[in-house]
Chains A and B, each alone.
Chain A
Amino acid sequence: MSIQYKTIKELTLMLKAKEISNKELIQETFDLIESNSHLNAFVTLNKENALNKAKAIDNKASDLSLSGIPIAQKDLFVTKNLRTTCGSNMLSNFIPPYSATVIENLENAGCISVGKTNMDEFAMGSSNETSFYGNVQNPWGENLVPGGSSGGSAAAVAAGIVPAATGTDTGGSIRQPASLCGITGIKPTYGRISRWGMIAFASSLDQAGPMARTAEDCAIMMNEMCSHDLKDTTSLNKEIPDFTKNLNTPIKGLKIGIVKEFDLSTLDNEVVKIFEESKKHYESLGVEFVEVSLPNINLSVPTYYVVAPAECSSNLSRFDGVKFGKRCKNPKDLEDLYIRSRSEGFGEEVKRRILIGSYVLSAGFYDAYYKKAQQVRRLIKNDFDNAFSKVDLIMTPTTRGSAFEAGSMNDPIQMYLEDLFTVPANLAGLPGISIPSGYVDNKPLGVQLIGNSLQESQLLNVAHCFQTSSDWHLRTPSSEIR
């Protein structure tokens, strides 16, 4: 396929040079979706609208920055008149009457939304095994998980079906699948991207972000995705830079912190090797590594697993079978309507988290759990603030290992611990990026950079410099290096 594995930048050039028409590009995209249907990356396709939009651009060219580019949209963003399921049975028949700001921003920049990608139900999961619509396959190996919750988006990009996709990240749901699928994914500073139209999981942690083949493409996406939205009180009113402007700035002299309290010896040798080699690579680019201490960072996972379930237990109360979404058949009274609609509509992991959330907020437990967790959260944030007075960025592995086999992780807590490296950035509201940095048994592995508040440009700059001097991000599952 001529368009498979191409980046946004490459496709834009092809379209401008008329090497391919908009219609052909979109048609080939849908052919790729079809031929990769075993990945189960998509829940709903937008074929007719997409082709119509493509034809319109063929008739009247536009110079919008994403003109004609096929983008896959995570099924957590509401899309007007296009079914939005959030990976759940509860919303299997939900047709939103409005679109998320992120979707509108991207479409106003000319992109073509080809479909809604599969995801862990209500964004809860790290392997895309909790979706009502079935597991997503990692293009790098049969029966391997792509990571989650943005598993469908990650797989679609990794398989070269689309150059980029939108994801969301509450505890690592962009970065972790990016790592396991060998692509680049960035979670911006909390508040950079509007949450209007993003189905809420944990309101103080959720952030949208781009997932693409390169840092450069992520920067192009960021330029369009970020906006100050009056409909979202938590949307930042800070200047949005051109994220593509400083990609090539030399990174010599930058200080990157290594977290003292993260004991990497507990990870597989292969993983540590990739991490150490990345370090050497950055050093060759002039970066200096410094040890930093974040004394409370190892409490991030338990903190997260109090705060996130608490907020989600409340956010998901609106799914009650009354005004939208699924309702159980023949409810005999109101209580029955609530209990059966919700019990039938939600999967196991979602129910578990709702229960934990209700528990930690309930009278008698609030102080010991929720309040406590929010206090520890402040300590973790303070640790970061401290560290960033000494270094520009912090580097950690993104994940404990590469993609694991579907069905192999049955213990919820073991799954939660997978988030060790990613949740701290969500708790502190800081930006984080995962960059393809190596392979373990031909399975990709990413390394994470965490930046200070509003420093996405710097993260993308460092990632871009890494990518222009390495080829990890150029490998594809079909074993070719592009």
Chain B
Amino acid sequence: MSWETVIGLEVHVQLSTNTKLFSGASTTFGAEPNTNVDLIDLGLPGVLPVANREAFHKAIRFGLATNAEINQVSMFDRKNYFYPDLPKGYQITQMEKPIVGKGSIMINVDGVEKLINITRAHLEEDAGKSIHDLFDGETGVDLNRAGTPLLEIVSEPEIASAKEAVAYFKAIHQLVTFLDICDGNMAQGSMRCDVNVSIKKEADDVLGTRAEIKNINSFKFIERAINFEVTRQIKILEKGKTVVQETRLYDSVNNETRSMRSKEAANDYRYFPEPDLLPVVISDKELEDIRNTLPELPKQKEIRFIAEHKLEESEAKILASSKAMANLFEDATSKTKDSNLIAKWLVGDVSALLNKDNISIEESKLSSDNFATLIERISDKTISGKIAKSVLEDIWDSGKDVDDIIKDKGLVQIQDESILENVAKKIIENNPDQVEAYKGGKEKLFGFFVGQVMKETQGKANPQSVNEILKKLLA
């Protein structure tokens, strides 16, 4: 039995506007509960929403970058349901006329490119947060998040595997961060997705019944949740039974999806046009302005890095792939001209540290100023490359200033040739046997002398100078 997986993703992207979609409350993350709440967000009797134009602009950037139709006249609708973190008892969303229509995005899975079509992207307000486990027998409601603008991006059901789903989610993540419409911080909930999974027989044209897994916010969990769900559905179908169309949650602790217990499953949202908001019109000029000020996308950046900085394609690709990485590179190259050195360190040591800790640059303690200074200190030979590695690790752990670290640990490279000569002479004096052996032909012992000098100078000797001096003295 040959089964085919059909996946569609609905990605919710929190737009990085200063204020909410319909009120002037701040959207800053991490504020004390219920402090970023305006009268409008609370849904008090008599309040009215007023749309945030910047949210439209950010949505349009997404549309332009995905070659999508932009609906210059778009409208809002109400989606009615009851939940404690939905203050008005309805969510204002866009059903009939979303701001962005059909578009597409390219994904890359193990080197193979595939175009995924996007059905639409629309604006809607986020709900607040319900906190279930803090209080005995009660659920706490924090409305800070209520009203935050979301861009809901709906893909066509063209994703065929968990891997493709992750690649798609990553592609969206990269795009929205590059477009500067979302901060991409998944741990903070800036991006989440609902995954619709269904299984059908390869030969069938009709799609199978789908289950929706809600609110997944990490690349890892998307993959696991889908894999579990596919297995679960196949098992059901193989027994000849039918899959229930329902909403499920992914339990990351037990690595399984479970049916949501709430009766929301039977919900009729009774959508109707929002009478408090009139259609929003984006003028041709506005659209042109947005198009002309679109931030540079990864591919363009890659090409520019190769041209301007003479980087290798592989390096340029890595540097251009993440906005934070690209920013680090550009900040550093504006302070010190050694692009190749910067690229080498970013692609090498910094990437290694990121992978080790499995965090993103925004989450690390490495600032671009500090990194630029580190490169400068290598360039001007204040410290050696080897020492620099340990300094980087120190910055990584502590976030301390490069110069402070160098000073505190006395890591300044010893450049003074007279000092180095004295150390070298001392080593040679103290190791007559090795000198004899070396001069007798054991060339490999050169490394021994180098090592001893390094040890004596706590690694601070300038390696090239040490080499030259020893060669001279041992000749």
Q: Do A and B come from one complex?
A: yes
Q: Which residues of A contact B (CB under 8 A)?
A: 77-78, 84, 86, 91, 94, 96-98, 100, 195-200, 202-204, 230-234, 310-311, 313-314, 316-320, 322-324, 334-335, 338, 358, 361-363, 366, 370
Knowing A198-B46, A200-B46, A370-B272, the reply to whether A97 touches B39 (Cβ < 8 A) is yes
4 more A-B contacts (CB under 8 A) besides A96-B44, A98-B44? A233-B48, A234-B276, A314-B78, A317-B80
Per-position contact with A for B251-267: 1 when CB-CB < 8 Å, else 0?
00000000000010000
Which residue in A77, A233, A317 is a CB contact (below 8 Å) of B276?
A233
Query: CB distance A361 to B270 under 8 Å?
Result: yes
Which residue in B42, B48, B87, B268 is a CB contact (below 8 Å) of A231?
B48
User: Which residue of A310, A316, A318 has the most chain B CB atoms within 10 A of its CB atom?
Assistant: A318
CA distance A348 to B459 in the complex (A): 86
Query: CB distance B46 to A96 under 8 Å?
Result: yes
Q: In the assembled complex, which residues on chain A have CB atoms less than 8 Å from the CB atom of B278? A: 233-234
17 A-B residue pairings within 8 Å (CB atoms): A197-B46, A202-B275, A203-B275, A231-B48, A314-B78, A314-B90, A317-B82, A318-B45, A318-B88, A320-B82, A320-B89, A322-B87, A323-B42, A361-B271, A361-B272, A362-B268, A362-B270
Which 10 pairs show the lowest CB-CB distances between chains A and B? Answer: A317-B89, A361-B270, A203-B275, A204-B275, A199-B45, A197-B46, A318-B43, A78-B46, A318-B88, A199-B46
Q: In the assembled complex, which residues on chain A have CB atoms less than 8 Å from the CB atom of B141? A: 322-323
User: Which residue of A195, A230, A316, A317 has the most chain B CB atoms within 10 A of its CB atom?
Assistant: A317
Q: Which single residue of chain A is at the shortest CB-CB distance from B273?
A: A374
Q: Which single residue of chain A is at the shortest CB-CB distance from B89?
A: A317
Query: CB distance A230 to B276 under 8 Å?
Result: no
Query: CB distance A98 to B39 under 8 Å?
Result: yes
CA distance A370 to B271 in the complex (A): 11
CA distance A314 to B78 in the complex (A): 8
* Chief secondary structure at chain B's binding surface: loop
User: Which residue of B46, B48, B88, B270 has the most chain A CB atoms within 10 A of its CB atom?
Assistant: B46
Query: CB distance B48 to A323 under 8 Å?
Result: no
**Min CB gap A234→B, angstroms:** 7
Q: Which single residue of chain B is at the shortest CB-CB distance from A370?
A: B272
Query: CB distance B89 to A318 under 8 Å?
Result: yes
CA distance A319 to B46 in the complex (A): 12
CA distance A363 to B79 in the complex (A): 12
Which residue in A97, A323, A370 is a CB contact (below 8 Å) of B87?
A323
**Min CB gap B50→A, angstroms:** 6
User: Which residue of A231, A311, A324, A338 has the most chain B CB atoms within 10 A of its CB atom?
Assistant: A231
Query: CB distance A318 to B275 under 8 Å?
Result: no
CA distance A195 to B276 in the complex (A): 10
B445 on the A face (CB < 8 A) = no
- The residues in B between 306 and 334 inclusive whose CB is less than 8 angstroms from any CB of A are none
- The residues in B between 39 and 61 inclusive whose CB is less than 8 angstroms from any CB of A are 39, 42-51
Query: CB distance B43 to A233 under 8 Å?
Result: no
Query: CB distance B275 to A86 under 8 Å?
Result: no
- The residues in B between 62 and 86 inclusive whose CB is less than 8 angstroms from any CB of A are 78, 80, 82, 84
Q: In the assembled complex, which residues on chain A have CB atoms less than 8 Å from the CB atom of B277? A: 233
Q: Which residues of B contact A (CB under 8 A)?
A: 39, 42-51, 78, 80, 82, 84, 87-90, 139, 141, 263, 268, 270-272, 275-278
**Min CB gap B429→A, angstroms:** 84
Q: In the assembled complex, which residues on chain B have CB atoms less than 8 Å from the CB atom of A317? A: 80, 82, 88-90
Which residue in A97, A195, A370 is a CB contact (below 8 Å) of B48?
A195
Query: CB distance B270 to A358 under 8 Å?
Result: yes
**Min CB gap B83→A, angstroms:** 9
User: Which residue of B39, B45, B49, B50 has the most chain A CB atoms within 10 A of its CB atom?
Assistant: B45
CA distance A366 to B278 in the complex (A): 21
Q: In the assembled complex, which residues on chain B have CB atoms less than 8 Å from the CB atom of A314? A: 78, 80, 89-90, 270, 272
CA distance A362 to B266 in the complex (A): 12
Q: In the assembled complex, which residues on chain A have CB atoms less than 8 Å from the CB atom of B45? A: 78, 84, 86, 91, 94, 96, 199-200, 318-319, 324
Q: In the assembled complex, which residues on chain B have CB atoms less than 8 Å from the CB atom of A204? A: 275
Q: In the assembled complex, which residues on chain A have CB atoms less than 8 Å from the CB atom of B51? A: 233
Which residue in A100, A318, A363 is a CB contact (below 8 Å) of B268?
A363
Q: Which single residue of chain A is at the shortest CB-CB distance from B83?
A: A334
CA distance A233 to B268 in the complex (A): 28
Q: In the assembled complex, which residues on chain A have CB atoms less than 8 Å from the CB atom of B275? A: 202-204, 234, 311
**Min CB gap A340→B, angstroms:** 13
Q: Which single residue of chain B is at the shortest CB-CB distance from A359?
A: B270
Knowing A317-B80, A358-B270, the reply to whether A323 touches B43 (Cβ < 8 A) is yes
CA distance A91 to B275 in the complex (A): 24
Q: Which single residue of chain B is at the shortest CB-CB distance from A101?
A: B46
**Min CB gap A183→B, angstroms:** 26
Q: In the assembled complex, which residues on chain B have CB atoms less than 8 Å from the CB atom of A84? A: 45
Q: In the assembled complex, which residues on chain B have CB atoms less than 8 Å from the CB atom of A370? A: 272
Q: In the assembled complex, which residues on chain A have CB atoms less than 8 Å from the CB atom of B88? A: 317-318
Q: In the assembled complex, which residues on chain A have CB atoms less than 8 Å from the CB atom of B90? A: 314, 317
Q: In the assembled complex, which residues on chain A have CB atoms less than 8 Å from the CB atom of B48? A: 195-196, 231-234
**Min CB gap A51→B, angstroms:** 27
Q: Which single residue of chain A is at the shortest CB-CB distance from B139?
A: A334
Query: CB distance B270 to A318 under 8 Å?
Result: no
**Min CB gap B25→A, angstroms:** 14
Which residue in A196, A310, A323 is a CB contact (below 8 Å) of B46?
A196
Q: In the assembled complex, which residues on chain B have CB atoms less than 8 Å from the CB atom of A323? A: 42-43, 87, 141
Q: In the assembled complex, which residues on chain A have CB atoms less than 8 Å from the CB atom of B276? A: 200, 203, 233-234
Knowing A204-B275, A318-B87, A323-B42, the reply to whether A231 touches B80 (Cβ < 8 A) is no
Q: In the assembled complex, which residues on chain B have CB atoms less than 8 Å from the CB atom of A91? A: 45
Q: Which single residue of chain A is at the shortest CB-CB distance from B270?
A: A361
**Min CB gap A159→B, angstroms:** 28
Q: Which single residue of chain B is at the shortest CB-CB distance from A307?
A: B275
CA distance A232 to B275 in the complex (A): 11
CA distance A196 to B39 in the complex (A): 11
Knowing A318-B89, A334-B84, the reply to whether A231 touches B46 (Cβ < 8 A) is no
Q: In the assembled complex, which residues on chain B have CB atoms less than 8 Å from the CB atom of A200? A: 45-46, 276
CA distance A319 to B276 in the complex (A): 18
**Min CB gap B51→A, angstroms:** 7
Q: Which single residue of chain A is at the shortest CB-CB distance from B267?
A: A363
Which residue in A234, A310, A324, A334 is a CB contact (below 8 Å) of B44?
A324
CA distance A276 to B44 in the complex (A): 47
CA distance A370 to B89 in the complex (A): 20
Q: Which single residue of chain A is at the shortest CB-CB distance from B141?
A: A322
Query: CB distance A233 to B89 under 8 Å?
Result: no
CA distance A46 to B447 in the complex (A): 94
**Min CB gap B419→A, angstroms:** 73
User: Which residue of B139, B141, B263, B276 has the most chain A CB atoms within 10 A of its CB atom?
Assistant: B276
Q: In the assembled complex, which residues on chain A have CB atoms less than 8 Å from the CB atom of B89? A: 314, 316-318, 320
Q: In the assembled complex, which residues on chain A have CB atoms less than 8 Å from the CB atom of B271? A: 361, 366
CA distance A335 to B82 in the complex (A): 9
CA distance A198 to B44 in the complex (A): 11
CA distance A183 to B46 in the complex (A): 27
**Min CB gap B122→A, angstroms:** 18
Query: CB distance B270 to A366 under 8 Å?
Result: yes
Q: Which single residue of chain A is at the shortest CB-CB distance from B85?
A: A322
